[in-house]
Structure 1
Amino acid sequence: MAEKKYDSIVYDYFEKKGGVIVLMSEDMLFKRTLSATILKIIGSKRDCLNVFENVQTGLKKIQEFQKNKVECTVFIERLIGGRPSTDTIITLKQLLPDLKIVVLVGETRRENIAYFYEIGVNNVISKPASMNNIIEKLAFTIKPQGKLSEYMGLGKRLLAAGKFKETLDICDKILSIKPDSPAGLMLRGDVHMEQGDRQAAIACYLKAHESSHLYLEPLKKLAHAYDGLDEDKHLEYLKKLDRLSPLNTDRKTNIGAVYVRRKKMDLAEKYFDQAIESATREAMSQVGNLAQRITEAVGKASPSMSEKYLAKVIEVKGATLNKDDIILFNKLGIALRGQGKWREAIDNYSRALKISPDDEGLHYNMGMAWFDGGDVNQAVKCFDRALKQNPDFYMTSQVASMNMGNIFLSVRRMEDALPFFENVLRLDPGNREASEKAAAARKAVA
């Protein structure tokens, strides 16, 4: 029944309200999934999906819809063209506060999700996403469920119009339905702030925070309310916010500024460093994605060009390199091996293993580099380490299985070689070379 309800909400959005979606994404799979959701599941006959692969054209379309009073929901990738979309989202919410925005992400950390909501995102969809998941998220984005949400929307409009008494009446209605509603309490606090009664506002915000300790908004209200009134409290709530949403560079800078005023320069420097590190990490994700796109464009046509750009991004990232960057080292190693630079490839994998010592792919690739250099025994040692980390890592790769089978065969480890040839045959039953070598290994083992 719930799924039908969501379908109905989304259908009405497209067919009765004339709503549209602007999708800013280079992901063709998500585009097809979203299109199929609208056409096949929802059954909309209108051309209501607008897809753009770059931000500028997408923004022009959003402005056009706003000008013509067309209800618009924006789906935007976390990264577009290798660049984080954070600034675009912040700008959109500043210019069009009521615009509904859904961010599309791959795997991401909790603090990233917290930051998205903090900058005004209405919902987050993790990819790959099912049609049902898209419908449910879209339904909650375009029409938050329940009477409380309806009252909150009305209350905010009344507050913006300066109708404080009417807003307080709405607060009473919200709190009669849900006595400890953080949203209702904050709305009442906002009325008191507008009326200049800061202490009454703080009391409401505190009660809202006590109702939901992980909810960021009451903490933000408290930090703002205490600014210029009580620096200890102001700092306390800034730091609580920082623990819950540690990617906000402006807040880290504000915390540092408080410590500067207190002449605690070591603590100020700590937060300023964290702000720079967080901003750098955001920029580095852009550099890393750009390098990856360049190497994908180059492909196997020029290993030396791939080496140039991959080495550059690893150099730029420097101290910020982490396990998410292992793919860069693996690509660089392949580019080096493609030029016969096996020693340099081994040095590259050694550096990567200091960051991620348990990565079986790095151990395997280092083994192949040793094999390129003619040291079969070192290659076998690397393969043994890779298998210790993940005994099944080769199962989906015919090439890795054949390579390891051949190298174990060359050092007369027949029993160890056999499973690799058998796996090749599982993936490619007609592989004649694997069949012959499997037979030879079986004979030797018997």
Structure 2
Amino acid sequence: MDVAPPSPSKTMKVLQADALVKQYERTVLEFVQQQSGHFVAVTDDPTFSSLLRSLLHKQLALAESCVTTVLDESRIVKDIQNALKNKQRVLVFIERVLGHKDISFLIKQIKTAFESAKIVVLSNEADVQSVAFLHEIGADNFIAKPISLNNLVEKVASTLKPQSKIGEIIEKGKALLAKGTYEAALKLAEKLLQIKPGSAAALMIKGDALYALNQKQMAVDAFLAASDNAPLYMEPLNKLVNFYRQEGDTARELEYLQALDKLSPLNVERKVEIGGAHLGLGNKQEAETVFDKALKQARKQASIRIKDVSQRIGDIYVRRDPVKAEAYYRKALDSVAGAHTEDEILIYNQLGMTLRKQGRWKEAVEEYRKALKIAPKDENLHYNMAMAMSEGKRYSEAVKMLEKALALNPRLHEKSPVISHNMGVVFHKQGNAATAKTFFEHALALDSSFESSRKMLASLE
């Protein structure tokens, strides 16, 4: 029985697919051989590890030294640092869950510490919300396992550099923006829009260039057009949020924050921003509802510390509603109780100042005492306790606390004219005019326009 030969169209598709694979392989080879690139694989998945080594060592014949496998979460950052010592570029594969623990919080840490590092997140799940969130916190690409060898090399290559002519032009535009050659970037964006009308990436380059050239409304129009042409693309919305935040238009800022939240509802930090915007607009009930949602989401995501979210909400409330701020600072303290860390001390400090705003100086003193048990040599705690005692008109005790603070740091009053003035006020209230005068004079030396100290000095003459 004769077998019919493959059709010309089918043969062409096979040849094109083979050519693409070769292109992807060249990109990976260039990364290692010409750019001194290195791979760091944070994975406990033997199947993925085997596939990666098969690609690098068997298919591409690269040395085993081009990849480092990390299984210990605590060593990830150190191993990346070691790779960067002798290498120019690093691509990190990282499991979203390692040893049954969500380690996605490390993605943001890695991207912050090593901006040039490329990050590919590995996961068995690929729901839209999770992928959107991971991209927001720093992931450059995402691999849903299992994955084939050809798809792996395509993912790696596309993460390392654009694999199309248009992608290359877009990267060139971004490079022009980074160099500050905004007019050249604008011309390139216009050229790209002629080739590919409605390109969201080109519109983003255009918007960034126009904004840098102080053509703000035209920049906003470009960001809006980018969002309209790519409704799932979050970067244009982020630009609009930042624009209206700088303009002081909280209502429009909130509008685009909420649009982002619909696309990526797992982002706890943005929920806190939404709550803050509501509070700024006087929507107290809406703010509280969103803050509660943020805390609930944080509890679901093991990678986010309740302390961080509660503390940030407390910071938002502190000037508008000290009672609410106190409640959130206490939630933050409850989440780190007994940790005896700098974080705990900072929250005690913030809680003490919030209580003082409410006139509850005795309770503030008690919170400072708790903090001093953890950090007895923290001069700032002694100073803040002195201020609280002074507010309660316990001036002799306040002076003792100031003397302890100055013994720990003799230059504490040199930090700011406010601190020096406040010390002067306490010594003056206690009856030590000579010492008070010294602090008032120092406040004026730091800031000659500090009228409060000038008036106090005049009263001592």
- What TM-score do you get using the length of structure 2 for normalisation? 0.58
Counterpart mapping for 1:188-227 below 5 A: 188-227=206-245
**Please, which of 225, 235, 239 is the counterpart of residue 254 of structure 2?**
235
- Is 1:274 the counterpart of 2:293 in the alignment? yes
Gaps (5+ residues) in structure 1?
287-315, 317-446
1:285 Cα offset (Å): 9.8
Match of 1:419 in 2: none
Count of matched residue pairs: 288
Percent identity of equivalent pairs:
36
1:143 aligns with 2:172: no
Distance in 1 (CA, whole Å) between partners of 2:204 and 2:175 is 14
* Change beyond 3 A, Cα 1:173–1:94: farther
- Cα distance in structure 1, aligned partners of 2:157 and 2:102: 26
The answer to whether the 8 A contact 1:11-1:43 is kept is no
**Does structure 2 retain, via aligned residues, the 8 Å contact 1:103–1:124?**
yes
- Letter of the 1:146 partner, please give it: S
Q: Which amino acid aligns with 1:64?
A: N
Report the equivalent of 1:330.
Answer: none
Further displaced range: 39-48 or 194-203:
39-48
Q: Are the structure 2 counterparts of residues 284 and 179 from structure 1 closer, same or farther at C-alpha, using a change threshold of 3 Å?
A: closer
Q: CA deviation at 1:147?
A: 2.3
Distance 1:14 1:93 in 2: 21
Residue 38 (1) aligns with residue 56 (2):
yes
Indicate how the Cα distance of structure 1 residues 285 and 117 shifts in structure 2: closer, same or farther if over 3 A, else same: closer
DSSP 3-state at the match of 2:297: helix
Q: Which runs of 5+ in 2 are unaligned?
A: 1-17, 306-334, 336-461
Alpha-carbon offset, residue 61 of structure 1:
2.5
Give the structure 2 partner of residue 124 of structure 1: 142
Conserved? CA contact 2:251–2:281, under 8 Å: no
Partners of 1:131 and 1:110 in 2: how far apart? 24
Shift of 1:39: 1.7
- For 1:107, what is the secondary structure of its paired residue? coil
Q: Distance in 2 between matches of 1:285 and 1:64?
A: 27
Give the letter for the 2:290 counterpart: Y
1:273 positional shift: 1.3
**CA deviation digits over 1:17-45, x for unaligned, max 9?**
33221011222222122111212223324
Contact 2:207–2:218 (8 Å) recurs in 1: yes
CA distance in 2, matches of 1:30, 1:169: 44
Aligned residue in 2 for 1:428: none
Read off the aligned partner of 1:22 and give its amino acid letter: V
**CA contact under 8 A between 2:107 and 2:137: conserved in structure 1?**
yes
**Separation in 1 of the partners of 2:270 and 2:303?**
20
List structure 1 segments (4+ residues) > 4 angstroms apart after TM superposition: none
Q: Which residue of 2 aligns with 1:258?
A: 277
Query: The residue matched to 2:301 in structure 1 has which SS?
Result: helix
Distance in 1 between the 2:86 and 2:248 partners?
A: 44
Distance 2:275 2:144 in 1: 34
- State the partner residue of 1:101: 119
- Give 1:25's aligned amino acid: T
SS in 1 for 2:162: coil
Q: CA deviation at 1:209?
A: 0.9
Aligned CA RMSD, in angstroms, stands at 2.4
Give 1:46 deviation, angstroms: 5.0
Q: 2:178 & 2:29 partners in 1: Cα distance? A: 31
1:258-278 Cα distance to aligned partner (Å, 9 max, x none): 111222222112211111111
* Counterpart pick for 1:80 among 84, 98, 113: 98
What does residue range 170-181 of structure 1 map to in structure 2 within 5 Å?
Answer: 170-181=188-199
Task: Please show how residues 353-368 of structure 1 align to structure 2 within 5 Å.
Answer: none
Q: Please give the secondary structure, in 1, of the residue aligned with 2:158.
A: helix
Q: Which moved more, 1:50-59 or 1:37-46?
A: 37-46
Does the aligned pair in 2 maintain the 1:82–1:285 contact within 8 Å?
Answer: no
Letter in structure 2 aligned against 1:79: V
Change (3 A) 1:181 1:98: farther
